Amino acid sequence: MTSILSRSMSTAFDRLSKGMRGVWPTMITPFKDGAKTVDWEMVDSLAEWYVKSGSAGIFSVCLSSEFYQLTNDERLAIASRVHERVAGRVPVVASGTFGGPIEKQAEFMREMAKRVDAVVIVTNQLAGKDESDEKWLENAGKLLSLTGDIPLGFYESPVPYLRLLTPKMLQWAVSSGRFYFHKDGSPNRNQLTAKIEAAASAAAPLNHAFSMYTAKAYLIKDCLDHGGCGFSGISANFYPWMHAWLCENYRDEKAKTVQHFLGVADNVIRQTYPRSAKIYLNRFYGLPITPACRIHDVEPIEEELTKIEFAYNMMEDFCRRLGIPMFSPKTLDQVQ
């Protein structure tokens, strides 16, 4: 098991601590049909595919992973498996807060920290929907005091409710020197850019980088244009190379075209997600992943499948015209 000390010296954590522009796929959990146990062979395949496709890092154990439907043992095992599989090629983060007393959440975070490069705090798990920001900050401060020097991140998950941090709360977090990763759920560019600016103006420790990634496919270029680091969201489970290209080439004259595609296509692929992602990978690349999910386990109707096929065809056409390499999740070979 990788210790916190050895992890902090790893190449992957070194890159995370300096800030990273790019795409962080929100990893789906592959299940076997029937009992819906985790398919570990497919976990390995997905991790390799994310890296091959140009991902800057991997966000394992998140909402896309169906983390509320996983046991604690499964959460720890998935994070550990992914971290060991990528072996320092990219950083791996994982959620570590799932409700209950702050002391219990801190205990689980300490276990998760042995397995990943940073532990992500799910913002809606530190206070109730009707509780104040002051109460949230009180609980967050207590959590930090109980978790030593563990590197941390934030995730503004929309389930069970969306807890958006204010610019002032982000400044507090950055000033602590503990936070490196933030997946932002702001629904519009004004909120997003205000938070990016607030984080940038915080009195962070010397040489400390706080990287903010939008969860919204339609805001990727806005995020990058205003000093954010890129994208962490569901569409990176379909064509992560497009996000990687945009994050690297967001000032290119063709970037707006790619951004427009990603923003519109997101409305199609999110239907019955994460099942839609599993069907997509199997149908168009032959990856032997089952469509089994522990949530939203319903068969997409033909209309949805047709729209997903249109999105695939458009994506393929964009990539061929722009020279963006595509990679098969089954073979890891470049798609011709």
| Pair 246, 202: CB distance under 8 Å | no
H-type helices in 177-288, by residue range? Answer: 189-201, 220-225, 240-248, 255-269, 275-285
| Pair 259, 251: CB distance under 8 Å | no
Give all strands (DSSP E) within 98-188, no chain letters: 118-122, 152-155, 179-184
Q: Which two tokens stand for residue 162?
A: 């969306």
pLDDT at 206: 64
Instruction: Determine the Cα–Cα distance for residues 179 and 152; give it in Å rounded to an integer.
Output: 5
| Pair 90, 117: CB distance under 8 Å | no
Residue 205 has pLDDT above 80, yes or no: no
What is the percent of the chain where pLDDT is above 90?
A: 87
Residue 173 has pLDDT above 90, yes or no: yes
The residue assigned the tokens 């978790």 is 147
- The pLDDT tens digits of the residues spanning 115-143 come to 999 999 999 999 999 999 999 999 999 99
- The pLDDT tens digits of the residues spanning 13-48 come to 777 776 789 999 999 999 998 889 999 999 999 999
Residue 68 has pLDDT above 80, yes or no: yes
Instruction: Determine the Cα–Cα distance for residues 241 and 32; give it in Å rounded to an integer.
Output: 27
Residue 273 has pLDDT above 70, yes or no: yes
Average pLDDT of the segment spanning 198-206: 83
Question: Given its phi and psi angles, is residue 272 left (phi above 0), alpha (psi -120 to 50 degrees) or beta?
Answer: left
Residue 276 has pLDDT above 70, yes or no: yes
pLDDT band at 236 (very low <50, low <70, confident <90, very high): very high
